[in-house]
Amino acid sequence: MSTQFEFLGPLKALVNGDEIIEVDATNIREALEKLQESYDGLLSRLLSDSGTVHRHINIFLNEEDIQLKDNLQTALSPGDKVTLISAIAGG
Amino acid sequence: MNQFLECSSCGNRTEFKPETVCHICFGPLNVLYDYDALKRSISRKAIEARPKTMWRYAELLPEVLSGTPDTPVGFTPLVHAKRLGKVLGIPRLYIKNDSVNFPTLSFKDRVVSVALAKAIDFGFNKVGCASTGNLANSVAAQATQLGLESVILIPNDLEQQKVVASACYDTTVIKVLGNYDDVNRLCTELSYREKIAVVNVNLRPFYSEGSKTVGFEIAEQLGWRLPDQVIVPMAGGSLISKIDKAFKELVKVGLVEEKSAHIFGAQPKGCSPISAMVKNRSEEITPVKPDTIVKSLAIGSPADGNRAANIIRNSDGWAEDVTDSEAVAGITLLAETEGIFTEAAGGVTLSVTKKLAEQGKLDKSGVTVICITGNGLKTADLVSYRTDNLSVIEAKYSSYKEITTNKAEADYVNTV
Where residue B200 sits, what CATH number does that domain have? 3.40.50.1100
Residue after which a domain boundary falls, among B208, B240, B270: B208
| B180 part of contact set with chain A, CB < 8 Å | yes
| A89 part of contact set with chain B, CB < 8 Å | yes
Report residue B413's pLDDT band, with 50, 70 and 90 as the boundaries: confident
Answer whether residue B30 shows pLDDT above 70. yes
Of B181, B201, B208, the CB nearest to A65: B181
Answer whether residue B410 shows pLDDT above 90. no
Q: What is the average per-residue pLDDT within B221-245?
A: 98
Flag whether B153 is in a domain: yes
Distance from CA of B409 to the nearest CA of A (A): 50
Do B96 and B243 have their domain in common? yes
pLDDT at A29: 97
Give chain B positions within 8 Å (CB) of A13: 23
Do B219 and B203 have their domain in common? no
Interface contact flag, A90 B184, Cβ < 8 Å: yes
Do B300 and B274 have their domain in common? yes
Distance from CA of B416 to the nearest CA of A (A): 50
Q: Which CATH superfamily is domain A3-86 in?
A: Beta-grasp domain (3.10.20.30)
Give chain A positions within 8 Å (CB) of B200: 89-91
Instruction: Give alpha helix (H) positions in B147-285.
Output: 160-167, 180-193, 204-209, 212-221, 238-252, 273-279
Interface contact flag, A89 B301, Cβ < 8 Å: no
Flag whether B194 is in a domain: yes
Total number of domains in chain B: 2
What is the rounded distance in angstroms from the CA atom of residue B164 to the CA atom of residue B167?
5
pLDDT at B1: 65
Give the end-to-end CA distance of chain B in Å, rounded to a whole number: 71
Residue A61's identity, in one-letter code, is L
What is the rounded distance in angstroms from the CA atom of residue B223 to the CA atom of residue B217?
10
| B213 part of contact set with chain A, CB < 8 Å | no
Report residue B111's pLDDT band, with 50, 70 and 90 as the boundaries: very high
Q: pLDDT by residue (tens digit) across B70-99?
A: 999 999 999 999 999 999 999 999 999 999
Flag whether B69 is in a domain: no
pLDDT one digit per residue (tens) for chain A, 91 residues: 799 999 999 999 999 999 999 999 999 999 999 999 999 999 999 999 889 999 999 999 999 999 999 999 999 999 999 999 999 899 8
Answer whether residue B203 shows pLDDT above 70. yes
| Residue to substitute from B188, B198, B310, interface A, most A β-carbons within 10 A | B188
Do B189 and B117 have their domain in common? yes
Its pTM stands at: 0.96
Q: pLDDT by residue (tens digit) across B300-334?
A: 999 999 999 999 999 999 999 999 999 999 999 99
Q: Domain of B305?
A: 78-104+211-385
Sorted by sequence, the CB contacts under 8 Å of residue B280 that are 6+ apart come out as none
